[in-house]
């Protein structure tokens, strides 16, 4: 596990400017690069993750997603206290829904029922379809989503990234890339480093995700699909 200070130090080693007093980059600038790198990696590797629940209401189709949401991985609907009631939802974009269920905008009472699809309208809004009816909105009937959220901004030297440990070293490489692309004016080298970093990150993602899913099986499998 690497702290912000350690990542910053490693970045200075990579650009061969270990003396911060005689460097092209301040600690604040390097901290900014590190945080930018974490925000870039989060949707790429689908981490960090969280899950939230909300009680649904009869006749209410739209629900607000968490403000720190980047990407929805999975969604479920139902009452965990009833055997076999809580089931996965299919997650679709609005453009997909138009072809899959053309009448999804029907707001009549007859169109309500048990939701089987979650439609992503924008980053902060999702719609259940069908809209929950009275039977499917009793206490305990909840929408649960598993999502990727924005990593916390690192500010104190002892802060650690909200990413799997294996990705911490990638943040110093991202810092190196940013240094080369800015004041150090080495764009070709910077682009090469960035490309290698992204390639390695994607190669590791299936292995790391599988490891986390197996470890968290007791709480529910985080693995999910997100239609392109």
Instruction: For the chain, state the CA radius of gyration.
Output: 22
d(CA 31, CA 40): 14
**What's the rounded Cα separation, in Å, for the pair 31 and 36?**
9
Examine the pLDDT at 139 and tell me if it is beyond 80.
yes
Work out the percent of the chain whose per-residue pLDDT is above 70: 91
Mean pLDDT of 170-196: 98
Q: At 221, is the pLDDT very low, low, confident or very high (cuts 50, 70, 90)?
A: very low
pLDDT at 209: 63
Please provide the distance, in angstroms rounded to a whole number, between the alpha carbons at the two ends of the chain. 33
Give buried/exposed letters for 1-11 (b at 16+ CB in 10 A, else e).
ebbbebbbbbb
pLDDT for the residue 210: 58
Query: Cβ distance 34 to 4 under 8 Å?
Result: yes
Give the CA diameter of the chain.
72
| pLDDT at position 136 | 98
């Amino acid at each position: 596990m690497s702290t912000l200070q350690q990542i910053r130090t490693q970045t200075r080693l990579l650009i061969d400017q270990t003396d911060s007093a005689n460097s092209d980059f301040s600690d604040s600038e390097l901290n900014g690069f590190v945080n930018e790198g974490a925000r870039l990696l989060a949707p790429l590797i689908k981490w960090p993750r969280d899950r939230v629940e909300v009680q649904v209401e009869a006749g209410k189709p739209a629900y607000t997603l968490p403000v720190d949401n980047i990407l929805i991985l999975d969604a479920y609907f139902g009452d965990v206290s009833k055997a076999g009631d809580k089931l996965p939802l299919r997650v679709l974009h609005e453009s997909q829904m138009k072809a899959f269920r053309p009448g999804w905008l029907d707001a009549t009472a007859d169109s309500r029922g048990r939701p089987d699809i979650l439609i992503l309208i924008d980053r902060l809004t999702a719609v259940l379809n069908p809209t929950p009816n009275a039977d499917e909105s009793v206490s305990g009937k909840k929408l649960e989503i598993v999502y990727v959220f924005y990593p916390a901004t690192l500010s104190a030297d002892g802060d650690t990234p909200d990413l799997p440990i294996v990705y911490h070293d990638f943040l110093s490489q991202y810092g190196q890339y940013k240094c080369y692309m800015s004041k150090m004016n080495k764009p070709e080298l910077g682009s090469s480093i960035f490309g290698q970093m992204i390639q390695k990150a994607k190669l590791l993602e299936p292995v790391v995700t599988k490891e986390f899913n197996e470890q968290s099986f007791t709480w529910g499998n985080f693995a999910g699909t997100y239609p392109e």
